[in-house]
Amino acid sequence: MIHARMAARSEAEDDLGNVRRRAHRDARRCVDHLTQAMAMKFTFLGTGCPVASPMRAGPAHLVTGSRARLLIDCGAGVSQRLVAAGERGADIDALIVTHYHSDHVVDFYQLLVSSWHQGRARPFVVHAPANVISHMRHILEAYADERELRIAHERRPSSLGLEVEFHELAEGRAIRLGDLEAEPFSVDHRPVKPAFGLVLRQGKTRVVFSGDTRPVPALVEAARGAELLVCEVFVDREMMPTQGVRSAETIAAVRSYHLTPRQIAKIARDAGVMALALTHFVPPNADRSALVAEIRKGFRGPVIVGEDLMSIDPALRTLSFANLHLAY
């Protein structure tokens, strides 16, 4: 009798232990999932192009993991937009420049100096194609005397923040920063060569960034099933020949190495992405609702018109912009 009672009690204890263990394991999984899901964030810093616009700064995007900050391109206004986003150039772990077009690299020197003024005390790590590295070295050389004067006169604690470490960007050579990985793939932006898109990964979450390109199968392949595809857009419908500014020939030439809304919709549909976001707007003041309507004809998933200082959590499928916070 006593034995039976003890056995029953110990069975009950075992059950309780199992329940506790299971609850603990489930909670742990939930926390792991949340930590992982909340960790990757894609922020639009500059969604413009060479055309000057107060609303859309030059091309720049920030990807943050739980322990790393990766900047993609450094167009005009990037330092200011970083501060506006609550970030600092001083904290960037690596910069990737996707191709040799001035709007993607023009503010590097300003970013370098402003990051140093924020207390950066480690070299800036840059991954870029060889022709971009050569250009950046020339810029650094042109300003060498200016830096020397600053270092001697300003007497900041460290001058390491003004040093730059270059790595050549190559297809398939992944860049790993903590739990974040960026893998470049070749796109077609000829006559600009080379040009890269990026697969950004953290855990199971995948964001694909088109870079500047015309339609290429590699973009569809890279984006297949991705949580988020971020595409450049050339809104051809809004580009009219304008006396003294652009001819029909100019428009055809520019369109030929970018992506039109119809092409983007097809790429997003063929790749079966979970969501599509647009950036690098040409023209920067393109009509947003007309653009969404045009894309909608070819792609039924969520379409996000990127704005400077908008952030997306691709795993949780949430978006923040000013006072707007939504799950899509």
Q: Which residues bind Zn ion (CB under 5 A)?
A: 101, 212
For Zn ion, the closer of residues 99 and 201 by Cβ is 99
Nearer to Zn ion, 56 or 201 (CB): 56
**What is the nearest approach in angstroms of Zn ion to the Cβ of residue 57?**
13
Smallest distance from the beta carbon of 186 to Zn ion, in angstroms?
Answer: 14
If the CB atoms of residues 64 and 279 are measured against Zn ion, the closer one turns out to be 279
Nearer to Zn ion by Cβ, of 37 and 97: the residue is 97
| Residue ranges of E strands in the chain | 41-46, 60-64, 69-72, 94-96, 124-128, 164-168, 175-177, 180-186, 196-202, 205-209, 228-234, 276-282, 303-305, 310-313, 318-321, 324-327
Q: Using an 8 Å Cβ cutoff, are 306 and 233 in contact?
A: no
> How far apart are CB 83 and Zn ion at their closest, in Å?
23
Shortest gap between Cβ of 115 and Zn ion (angstroms)? 23
What lies within 8 Å, CB to CB, of 207 at 6+ separation is 40, 42, 63, 199, 200, 201, 226, 227, 228, 229, 230, 314
Nearer to Zn ion, 116 or 209 (CB): 209
Closest CB 142 distance from Zn ion, rounded Å: 23
Question: Which bin fits 236, alpha (ψ -120 to 50), beta or left (φ > 0)?
Answer: alpha
Q: Are 52 and 29 in contact (CB under 8 A)?
A: no
Q: CB of residue 133 vs Zn ion: minimum separation in angstroms?
A: 17
Which is closer to Zn ion, CB of 212 or CB of 308? 212
The single residue listed with the structure tokens 């006396």 is: 243
